[in-house]
Every structure is written in C-alpha cells, then in structure tokens.
C-alpha cells in the first residue's frame, strides 16, 4: 500500500472509532437555577408551630410541628399531601445533627457519629466504637460528612476536618466565631455559619479560609444548599444567598415576618416558614425567581 493509501485508511479508521464512541457528553445544566430577585407565588397556613428544621426532597417539603404531627406539602401545587402523628424518632430526623449529645448517620457508608461534650465517637454497624476524637472544647454543632471526611467545630471557634474512616485530623482552623450549625460542604468548599454573624468559606481539602461574608443578624437556623448557592436564614426576616465558590452575596429576600425555620430549597421554589408577629400563626411562603 502506498503512502496515500495508508493515510486514507488511517482517516477512515479514525472516523469509524469516532462514530462508535458516540456524541460527546454535554455538561449537566441545572434546569431550575436559583436567581434573584425572588417573588412570592403562594402561601399556605399550617396548624401548630414548626419545630426542628424542615426538609425538602423530590418536590415535597416535610416538617414537624409542636402538636406532635408530621406534615408533607407538595411545593409545585402548594397542597398538603398528608398530615399524621409523628413519633419522637421521626421528628428527630427533621432536626439538625445534634450537639452536646445524640447521634447522627449521614449514609450507609459512613459511621454512626455520636457527640458527647468535647468527644466525637464513631460506631460501626454492630454498635462497636471504632474511634474517638477529643476536641479542644465542647462541640458546638453537629458534624457534616462529605467525601469521606467529617467537618465540625467547637464552642471556642476551633473547626476540624477528620478522616471518617480513622478519626485522624486532616486539618484544623481557628475561626473568630463558634460554628452554630452543621457546615454545608459542596464543590470543594465548606460553608460554616458562625456566632459572629459571619459565614466562613473554607477549602474542604486543606482548610484555608477562602472568603467570609457578614449577614444582617445572628444565624439561628441551618444553612441550605441551593445549587451553587447557600441560603442563610437569620434572626431578622432576611434570607441571604451566598455563592459557594466565592462567598459573595448574590441576593437577599426580606420576608413579611419573623422566620420560624431555615429556608428550604425545593427547585424551583425557595420555601420559607414565616410567623405573623401579631397572631403567632405560621405559614409556608413559596418564592420563585422573577
């Protein structure tokens, strides 16, 4: 075969391999990105008062109330799916990870973690303790687990990252404020809400402080991940959205009353639990990008 024939053969073979490989994968695109400004698109009054932190999954928001009931609301239709008595253990699943006592498991592949004062203990499937870590002060907020690592902080402002399998310290970092709630760990960043009304953004692998952002008042509810953003609910009626990658504020919404729980992201809705300052009645408020 002459040189031209070999060249044609190589081109033909390359074309066949490319055809077999199929089209290149397109990057995933969020079909419901959270953008600001937000507008109210509906509201739903509820019975009782919210306790713990509501959760959202597959378009359904679930929450517990002080009258001993669990309620599920479909966000797209803003309709109650069911309301039924909830045992204490079911109600506890809607609360943030414990601090100062109690246990939490974030998935079948992670150890059962128990917080007792300044100790974090891990237990295996048979209930046997596999390791124990002694922090420098009482643990202020329950642990968050991501990519085989555990993130948590103490009342004195020390924040730790441990290896989940062994309990060994990967890194530690001192913050100006004490962590108030479990960190949100995503896309290589740990967002830590602290007692100095600041959200710190730390590198999840090495612990360096990437950025920080002040919010209007004390952060009294857990953060909520919303795609590339994190929602911050504070003692004021404000909900602030910060970008995980940069820590910068990208939007803020002011509710019509005090917040009774942290904001929940149920794409494409942000769901707020708002209390009427005069009557004490609480309602769900549904927001969407304008």
Model confidence over 204-215: pLDDT tens digits? 999 999 999 999
Cα separations (Å) of 196 from 133, 158, 180, 232? 26, 14, 10, 14
User: What order do you get walking across the sheet with 264-266 strand by strand?
Assistant: 38-45, 282-289, 269-275, 264-266
Is the model's pLDDT at 93 over the cut of 70?
no
The two three-digit tokens of residue 156, written as one number: 């004195």
Residues 52 and 239: their CA atoms lie apart, in Å, by 18
Chain Cα centroid distance, residue 156: 23
| Rounded CA separation 287/273 (Å) | 11
CA-closest candidate to residue 161, choices 146, 177, 175, 176 = 146
Choice between 192 and 99, residue whose per-residue pLDDT is larger: 192
198-223 average pLDDT score: 94
Average the pLDDT over 141-160 and give the result. 94
Per-residue pLDDT, 211: 96
pLDDT at site 5: 46
Picking from 128, 98, 129, 130, the residue whose alpha carbon sits closest to that of residue 116 is: 98
- Alpha-carbon Rg for the chain in angstroms: 23
> What is the predicted pLDDT for the residue at 31?
67
Instruction: Give the mean pLDDT of the chain.
Output: 85
Distance of CA 108 to the CA centre of its chain: 18
Cα–Cα dist 1/133, whole Å: 71
Cα distance between residue 26 and residue 12, in whole Å: 26
Quick one: pLDDT at residue 125?
80
Q: Which of 71, 47, 46 is nearest to 60 (CA)?
A: 71
Q: CA angle, corner 280, sides to 278 and 286, nearest 5?
A: 105
- Backbone angles phi and psi of 17, in degrees to 5: -60, -40
Residues 179-190 have a mean pLDDT of 95
Which run of H or of E encompasses 9?
Answer: helix 3-21
pLDDT confidence of 277, banded at 50, 70, 90? confident
């Amino acid at each position: 075969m002459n040189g031209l024939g070999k060249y044609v053969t190589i081109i033909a073979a390359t074309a066949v391999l490319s055809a077999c490989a199929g089209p290149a994968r397109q990057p995933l695109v969020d079909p419901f990105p959270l953008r600001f400004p937000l507008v109210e698109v509906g509201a739903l009054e509820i019975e009782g008062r919210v306790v713990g932190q509501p959760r959202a999954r597959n378009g359904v928001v679930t929450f517990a109330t002080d009258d001993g009931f669990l309620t599920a609301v479909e966000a797209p239709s803003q309709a109650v799916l069911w309301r039924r008595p909830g045992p204490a253990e079911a109600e506890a699943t809607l609360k943030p990870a414990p601090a100062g006592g109690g246990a939490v498991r974030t998935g079948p592949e992670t150890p059962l973690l128990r917080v007792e004062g300044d100790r974090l203990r891990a237990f295996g499937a048979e209930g046997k303790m596999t390791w124990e870590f002694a922090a420098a002060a009482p643990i202020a907020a329950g642990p968050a687990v991501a990519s085989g690592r555990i993130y948590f902080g103490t009342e004195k402002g020390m924040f730790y990252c441990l290896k989940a399998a062994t309990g060994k310290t990967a890194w530690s970092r001192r913050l100006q404020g004490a962590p108030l709630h479990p960190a949100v760990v995503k896309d290589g960043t740990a967002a830590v809400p602290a007692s100095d009304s600041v959200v710190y953004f730390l590198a999840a692998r090495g612990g360096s402080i990437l950025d920080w952002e002040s919010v209007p008042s004390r952060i009294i509810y857990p953060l909520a991940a919303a795609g590339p953003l994190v929602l911050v609910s504070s003692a004021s009626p404000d909900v602030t959205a910060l970008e995980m990658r940069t820590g910068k504020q990208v939007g803020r919404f002011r509710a019509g009353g005090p917040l009774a729980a942290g904001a929940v992201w149920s794409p494409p809705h942000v769901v707020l639990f708002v209390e009427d300052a005069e009557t004490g009645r609480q309602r769900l408020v549904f927001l969407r990008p304008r």
